[in-house]
Amino acid sequence: MNQPVARLSAKLHRRVCLVLTEDAVLAEELLSRKKLAAEVAGRLSERVLLVRPNRLDAVLDELKKMGHTPQVVGGKPGG
């Protein structure tokens, strides 16, 4: 007989910005920068950071200052 599958609670949000990194070490490096860490609302996994609402431009600017070339997918900067 099949065992019941455990359910996980999830809350869906529209129009959120995420930073997806290549690895957990890079995510840690990003969070070690005070300006960038202030724009992060939370960490969804070891490689995924949730950006605060309306802070995408600030995050993109800081990533560029660090020498990264961020790619925006599914939207446009300005939020």
Domain spans in the chain, listed from the N-terminal domain onward: 17-65
Distance of alpha carbon 76 from its chain centroid, rounded?
Answer: 15
Distance of alpha carbon 63 from its chain centroid, rounded?
Answer: 12
pTM: 0.75
pLDDT band at 14 (very low <50, low <70, confident <90, very high): confident
- State the Cα–Cα distance between residues 4 and 17, nearest whole angstrom: 34
Q: Is 36 helix (H, G, I), strand (E, B) or coil?
A: helix
pLDDT band at 15 (very low <50, low <70, confident <90, very high): confident
pLDDT of residue 4: 66
Give per-residue pLDDT as tens, 43-61: 999 999 999 989 999 999 9
